[in-house]
Amino acid sequence: MTESTSGKTLTHLGASGEARMVDVSDKTVTERVAMAEGRVIMTPETLALVISGNAKKGDVLGTARIAGIMAAKRTHDLIPLCHPLALSQVAVDLAPDQSLPGIAVRATVKVAGQTGVEMEALTAVSVACLTIYDMVKAAERGMRIEGIRLVEKSGGKSGPYKAKD
């Protein structure tokens, strides 16, 4: 295994630096939960279009929610070396926010398993944000996707994590 600059071991690298899937067979099955967030920044006019439900491609928030859920379930197909997981819950919440202006996206993913679901939560948020962009890009190409990050996680050997604001 290779050590990072912080002294922690990088688990996806073998002794010679080659990429490998981590063997989790000896890990204890525990409930693991991860929450991630992000946002899509847009003009007030584009936000009004999303809220009104009048986007040409249809229900932006509903479609983004489904896309995020589907993405979490397919994370192992998208991110090399991620384990396929039988997720027990994926929730994607989208909140229009006039103060941004834009849409705040939050995903919570849960599993009873031997490895965490941080990547699944981050993937759900990323794809939900990309779907929002895709559905209203005809109205505004200058939207920005920002702030995608892990907010918190629990379960597993490494214990809980909560991001600092």
Going by their DSSP bridges, the two strands 89-97 and 9-10 should be labelled as unpaired
Question: Are residues 92 and 69 in contact, defined by beta-carbon separation less than 8 angstroms?
Answer: yes
Q: H or E stretch including 50?
A: helix 44-52
Which residues, other chains included, contact 23 with Cβ-Cβ below 8 Å and sequence gap of 6+?
Answer: none
- Cα–Cα distances (Å) from 27 to 85, 89, 112, 157, in that order, read 14, 21, 12, 8
| DSSP 8-state assignment for residue 154 | E
- Catalytic residue (one of 59, 77, 134, 165): 134
- Cα–Cα distances (Å) from 21 to 27, 79, 148, in that order, read 14, 11, 24
Active site residue 134: yes
Distance CA 110, CA 120 (A): 9
- Which residues are identified as catalytic? 134
